[in-house]
Chains A and B, each alone.
Chain A
């Protein structure tokens, strides 16, 4: 069958966009062909710096014929209706339509038989549509044209069945030609087929298959390294990128001054990667970096690449000289210096939230308190907090922001006497940086990571900077997912025996600290929180005026809140709306997390409705509930619950039953039917058993205790009429249903469960 080739020839396409563009092109092309009645079995795509395109091996010469029956108006309809029908069906006279009778009368029916359109014609129609709507991440206009493409588009080469197909798009050229390597073979090459295209380009030093280019790069690089007894530091992301930067990959090994090896390996590697797109080279014996680099070039240089290697080495030297200078400055002092602290005091974390150092102080207060739940050593936590942001004002982080934390860790490790946990905490307190990053595990690091993120969340909530559906400039979703994962993966228990919400307590402590600090009230601790002194300070603090605009209610009650919060202990703190709202946001992250693990969102809702804020316990409940509902007993009991709840709700609505009445005792003596007696007894057993199991957090056992209710509940609904005429019987039966509802709500709010 005939072959199709399409090549979109442009100026250099950003490397990171090429692979995705191939996929988008194949998808759009396949869909449009299909919609036009053509079935492309396999679309193969290609991309190189100056072109993307595709070829299809076996495309029919024309689309399938269309046979369609279209029902028209009733016989004898007005002329206007008939004309509309004729036009739509492509008929010239009503005689061409057939008359078909059905039970409603006689209708015109048009039999439309259309020969399938030629493939070339279809391609001419769909290619411009695809080009105009192409989903480049960023696109541009050129000259006076309105066409948007990733970079100026110069030619659309399209060949079908050996013949050129002209594509008309906003004046872009459409010749059956392509061009070879920009420098080695810039001449135009006529193209007659896909095979001709690929082979001519190969001859003209362009490899259009990115996988082939990647393979060649890896092979050449490994060979060059092996020849020197070295090995390549593989980097898949970098490989993908450099494969998109060359038409004809030629790998060159360059030398680096060994003096630079005294820099941290990560600094050298990042310098090579981010600034120069070089691969690092390793000595397999020491596992350390070797004084070389690998650069992927685009030409077969006249001198075999000597000038290129020398030039690149010079650029790298200049880069690393900079890095070395920075590192020298940074390592000249211990990590903590008064000068660095003074700098942090000047860097505004957020205009309304004070400096980075203010944040450190808040984090310190919160982290100390969190030691109670994480079990970290408070002394180490205090040390780690004081050091954790210091590296932000180092020269090295100034140059490589992605090394924040890592540089702090290294500098801390250079300082004598610093505990290993402190160094780890400095690096890890930013983690997890994304859904795939690891979470901290060292107790000190966990404490600091939680305190840092909770402070960020509380602080932005307090100034009304919540994320919206489309915008989350301060990465608050990531921070809260980080909290959720750190808590869960380390099994951190915000646990309390009396159902007090402990995590909420920490959010409030943090909020208090924020208010306290933003007003610079440290002195107040000595003044024993005199209400009028506080009042005076709050009202005269210019920083807090900002709060007044944003959260007038909080502002009004601020002196009172500060006094209250500062004088209370964790767990006794009132619940201002800010922290409740934030808790709900954290809960949402947990829901997303659980949903990603395949847990039903309604089960998560059902457990959340209990108002718990111990994330570990919540997950345990959800898991037990999920397992329970998958059993037959569980599913049936849910149905029984729904029925009971519906009856109760209907009665409550009619005013014939109230929550007050539901609290009274079942009159066991008045139970008439065997089925209701059985349910009563089952409830008497299940309710305390479930409650006891829940107390011990044995949720599976609690579910098991409840599953014993299934048979009596089913029998009850089958045999017993709830709305009995005798008010005493009716009351007893409604009480039984209330008990049932109560028993199940030990483990979850079943009303939130679907099904």
Chain B
């Protein structure tokens, strides 16, 4: 194996992971162009994990969690961040080792740092998905989620997919010993134009946080939610699964925006989640049928 240069900046981590998983036979995809709360919601994971066909893919997915906005004031909470997602179907028997090798590649030595697999029953109720696996901890920091998918959209996943989600900012902060996410070197710190994560995203966090908590229009978002839901249903009735899934994602994000404004009560919350789940289930079963 060739000697690998240790990453020096945020984008090195991404490039290293991409190269590593490309070597494992994954298709390296690009982010999905809908606003999503997690990399799992990319159709490359949600839909492709269903059905009997083998599948291996890896990609970066920008993820939006409106509620997590902190106006750029919190050293490690962001309402927009990146996940690196790997999905392998069926899960290879040595997936844990493959994963640990990827950590080694970005410079984490398991005899210097304490790496642990801590129980985490992963569940995403808005898409009717669950699996068993772990949070992977490195010196007490959760750096990845590792899941064996058991159900998606309420359907059994057969064969089982292995899913890895790396929290890229956290991982990079850890590797580079940075305490504040905005101080992360984004590109090569020795380049002519060194850029930090803050140079690129601090203003975005401030403005988007204000939007999420103060300026978004709950009534409009509620209307749009209803419209997106209706459209997804109509498309599903037409057998137009992938566009229907896009509208499901839109509904899901609109719900997150409503939630961030604190206008969704705990009980209403359940009903919103159930509505999105019904759409996701509809998409998943229609997709799975097409895969047989």
A interface residues, Cβ below 8 angstroms from B? 11-12, 14-16, 49, 138-144, 150-152, 154, 182-184, 245-246, 276-278, 295, 297-299, 301-303, 307-308, 310-312, 314-318, 321-322, 325, 343, 346-351, 355
Contacts and interface: CB of A to CB of B under 8 A. Distances in A.
Given A11-B96, A15-B119, A144 B114 contact: no
B106 to A, nearest CB: 15
Nearest to B109: A302
A308 B117 contact: no
Interface string B94-117: 001000000000000111111111
B25 to A, nearest CB: 16
A343 B264 CA distance: 11
Given A15-B119, A312-B139, A351-B267, A346 B132 contact: no
24 contacts: A11-B117, A12-B117, A140-B150, A141-B158, A142-B148, A143-B90, A144-B158, A151-B132, A151-B133, A151-B148, A152-B91, A154-B93, A277-B118, A298-B116, A301-B113, A301-B114, A302-B109, A303-B112, A307-B112, A311-B139, A317-B179, A318-B179, A321-B75, A346-B265
A107 B67 CA distance: 83
A15 B135 CA distance: 13
B114 A141 contact: no
Contacts of B266: 347-348
B218 to A, nearest CB: 11
Interface string B255-272: 000000011011110010
B62 to A, nearest CB: 22
A143 B134 contact: no
Contacts of B148: 140-142, 151-152
Contacts of A317: 179
Contacts of A11: 96, 117
Contacts of B91: 142-143, 152
B138 interface: yes
Contacts of A322: 74, 77
B114 A299 contact: yes
Name the residue among B114, B117, B159 with the largest chain A CB count within 10 angstroms.
B114
A276 B114 CA distance: 13
Given A11-B96, A295-B140, A311-B139, A302 B115 contact: no
A308 B110 CA distance: 11
B75 A276 contact: no
B121 interface: yes
Contacts of B160: 140-144
B262 A346 contact: yes
Contacts of A14: 119
B93 A152 contact: yes
Contacts of A346: 262-263, 265
Contacts of B211: none
Nearest to A347: B265
Contact of B140 (A151, A316, A355): A316
B interface, how many residues as a size bin?
35 or more
A351 B267 CA distance: 6
Interface string B75-98: 111000000000000110100100
A350 to B, nearest CB: 6
B159 A144 contact: yes
Contacts of B90: 143-144
B32 interface: no
B174 interface: yes
A108 to B, nearest CB: 53
Given A12-B117, A310-B139, 8 more contacts: A15-B118, A141-B148, A143-B160, A152-B91, A182-B110, A183-B111, A318-B76, A351-B265
B141 interface: yes
Interface of B: 74-77, 90-91, 93, 96, 109-119, 121, 131-134, 138-141, 148, 150, 158-160, 174, 179, 262-263, 265-268, 271
Contacts of A12: 117-119, 134
Contacts of B268: 348, 351
A348 B267 contact: yes
Contact of B139 (A139, A154, A308, A318): A308
Contacts, number: 122
Contacts of A151: 132-133, 148
A349 B113 CA distance: 45
Nearest to A295: B140
Nearest to B120: A14
B226 to A, nearest CB: 18
A404 to B, nearest CB: 13
Contact of B75 (A144, A246, A318, A347): A318
Contacts of A312: 114, 139-140
Contacts of A321: 74-75
A183 B97 CA distance: 11
Contacts of B271: 351
A49 B140 contact: no
A276 B140 contact: yes
A245 B120 CA distance: 13
A308 B114 contact: yes
A14 B132 CA distance: 10
A299 B141 contact: no
Name the residue among B77, B113, B179 with the largest chain A CB count within 10 angstroms.
B113
A12 B110 CA distance: 16
Contacts of B267: 348-351
B114 A298 contact: yes
Given A140-B148, A343-B262, A315 B141 contact: yes
Contacts of A277: 118
Contacts of B179: 314, 317-318
A297 B115 CA distance: 9
A301 B115 CA distance: 11
Contacts of B111: 183-184, 299, 301-302
Contacts of B75: 318, 321
A143 B112 CA distance: 32
B292 to A, nearest CB: 16
B121 A138 contact: yes
B113 A311 contact: yes
Contacts of B159: 143-144
Contacts of B131: 140
A311 B96 contact: no
Contacts of A139: 132
B260 to A, nearest CB: 13
A395 to B, nearest CB: 12
A206 to B, nearest CB: 15
Contacts of A315: 139-141
A269 to B, nearest CB: 16
Contacts of A183: 110-111, 115
Nearest to B94: A154
Contacts of B96: 11
Contacts of A318: 75-76, 179
B289 to A, nearest CB: 20
A355 B268 CA distance: 12
Contacts of A343: 262
Nearest to B110: A183
Nearest to B77: A322
A23 B114 CA distance: 29
Name the residue among A142, A183, A278, A325 with the largest chain B CB count within 10 angstroms.
A142
Contacts of A299: 110-111, 114
Contacts of A140: 131-132, 148, 150, 160
Contacts of B118: 12, 15, 245, 277
A295 B179 CA distance: 20
A437 B267 CA distance: 28
Contacts of B158: 141, 144
A344 B15 CA distance: 47
B70 to A, nearest CB: 9
A141 B262 CA distance: 38
